[in-house]
Amino acid sequence: MIAGRTFRSRLIVGTGKYPSHAVMAQAHEASGADMVTVAVRRVNIADRSTESLLDYIDTNRIFLLPNTAGCYTVDDAVRTAHLGREAGLSNWVKLEVIGDERTLFPDNEALIAATRILVKDGFVVLPYTNDDPIACRKLEDAGAAAVMPLGAPIGSGLGIQNINNIRIIREFSKVPVIVDAGVGTASDAALAMELGADGVLMNTAIAGARSPVQMAAAMKHAIIAGRLAYLSGRIPRKLYATASSPLEGVIGT
Amino acid sequence: MTITLNGERHEITEPMTVDALLALLAIDPRRVAVEHNRTIVRRPRYGEIVVDEGDTVEIVNFVGGG
């Protein structure tokens, strides 16, 4: 549950970089996601032939989350968020204020400022941030409805780079924690959930897989498995063995 | 007359409402958001707001993204 709204799935997926809109729709179905992200971009005035993304998303079943991808300043992010709200069906926004082109790491200072502005403008803000527990705390204080620390750079497929920080963020946060960015394969998603994340957001891991539809299904299972494992109270890690079978009654002793 | 449309110079023959501009460009008004001189135009006002010489218009829609 985020900002009073309940979602059936803890997996949020993107709509970018798929081989086709049709494959995207199949992957969404396989993933079980009921929230997807979209980007806000200028209409291509010259080329009106491109298919509309929304023809492939049933917005009665799937909640659209506009993002502010590509924004490097508070001003651009706030403008884009407002445009996204106007074009879309809700006041939710995945807020991104990017600090660097190569890493696409967030500019936390600008992100926190933009969060404050958009919260005041009535938005439900889900900020994409890094694995810094202090930045997450400041975002929460600024009114973010959730915090979304990255696992690794967007599209990198490196998995969770800072396991301890994600765990700490989960411990400190009173709002939902969604690991967003860097997931590469199913075990990365499962790990995020085992660390206590409330959800995982991914795009490239599915869209860029050799079989996006199959990977979407894998991710669906990974999220479920990771969450169940987290709730089940795992055994502690030990340096040496503790036998699982009884020590007495062995023949030949 | 020249306006700035999505960052580019664009020619229109006369001042026109947002509605008329969208129709001219064959853009479905239900799937976009429009900004006129840095102010968002609410959909009910598409028939009211007039785009004139020198104005800046942004027309955006949703595309794939993460």
Chain B interface, mutation test: which of A83, A180, A201, most B Cβ atoms within 10 Å? A83
Task: Give me the total of CB pairs closer than 8 Å, taking one residue from chain A and one from chain B.
Answer: 101
The string of pLDDT tens digits covering residues A173-196 is 999 999 999 999 999 999 999 999
- The amino acid that residue A174 corresponds to is K
The predicted model gives A22-28 an average pLDDT of: 97
CATH number for B8 = 3.10.20.30
The pTM is what?
A: 0.94
The predicted model gives A195-217 an average pLDDT of: 98
The predicted model gives A79-107 an average pLDDT of: 96
Residue B34 has pLDDT above 80, yes or no: yes
| Residues of the domain holding B7 | 2-60
The span from the CA of B11 to the CA of A247, in Å, is 88
Question: Residues of A at the B interface (Cβ-Cβ below 8 Å)?
Answer: 14-18, 21, 24, 37-43, 45, 48, 52-54, 64, 66-67, 69, 79, 82-88, 154-155, 181, 201-204
Using pLDDT thresholds of 50, 70 and 90, give the confidence band for residue A50.
low
Go through the domains of chain A in sequence order and give each one's CATH number.
Answer: 11-231 (3.20.20.70)
Q: Is residue B6 part of a domain?
A: yes
**Contact at CB, A154 and B66, closer than 8 angstroms:** yes
The predicted model gives B48-57 an average pLDDT of: 96
Residue A52 has pLDDT above 90, yes or no: no
**Contact at CB, A15 and B33, closer than 8 angstroms:** no
Which residue does chain B place closest to A21, by CA atoms? B64
Q: Please, what's the b/e burial string for A188-213 (b: 16 or more CB within 10 A of its CB; e: otherwise)?
A: bbbbbbbbbbbbbbbbbbbbbbeebb
Q: What 3 state SS string does chain A have?
A: CECCECCCCCEEECCCCCCCHHHHHHHHHHHCCCEEEEEEEECCCCCCCCCCHHHHCCCCCCEEEEECCCCCCHHHHHHHHHHHHHHCCCCEEEECCECCCCCCCECHHHHHHHHHHHHHCCCEEEEEECCCHHHHHHHHHCCCCCEEECCCCCCCCCCCCCHHHHHHHHHHCCCCEEEECCCCCHHHHHHHHHCCCCEEEECHHHHCCCCHHHHHHHHHHHHHHHHHHHHCCCCCCCCCCCCCCCCCCCCCC
Q: How far A181 CA lies from chain B's nearest CA (Å)?
A: 9
Q: What percent of chain A has pLDDT over 90?
A: 92
**Contact at CB, B61 and A37, closer than 8 angstroms:** no
The string of pLDDT tens digits covering residues A137-168 is 999 999 999 999 999 999 999 999 999 999 99
**Contact at CB, B64 and A82, closer than 8 angstroms:** no
The predicted model gives A52-70 an average pLDDT of: 95
Using pLDDT thresholds of 50, 70 and 90, give the confidence band for residue A199.
very high
> Chain-wide mean pLDDT for chain A?
96
Q: Is residue B65 part of a domain?
A: no
* A220 catalytic residue (yes or no): no
Count how many domains chain B has. 1
Residue A51 has pLDDT above 70, yes or no: no
Q: Which residues of B touch A40 (CB under 8 A)?
A: 33, 60-63
Residue A129 has pLDDT above 70, yes or no: yes
**Per-residue model confidence (pLDDT) at position A247:** 87
Which of A16, A87, A88 minimises the CB distance to B65?
A16
Q: Which residues of B touch A24 (CB under 8 A)?
A: 64
**Per-residue model confidence (pLDDT) at position A49:** 63
Q: How far B37 CA lies from chain A's nearest CA (Å)?
A: 12
The string of pLDDT tens digits covering residues A8-18 is 999 999 999 99
**Per-residue model confidence (pLDDT) at position A55:** 92
Chain B interface, mutation test: which of A15, A23, A31, A43, most B Cβ atoms within 10 Å? A43
Q: How far B65 CA lies from chain A's nearest CA (Å)?
A: 4
Q: Which residues of B touch A87 (CB under 8 A)?
A: 31-33, 60-62
**Per-residue model confidence (pLDDT) at position A85:** 96
**Per-residue model confidence (pLDDT) at position A47:** 77
Residue A197 has pLDDT above 90, yes or no: yes
Q: Is residue B66 part of a domain?
A: no
Using pLDDT thresholds of 50, 70 and 90, give the confidence band for residue A252.
confident
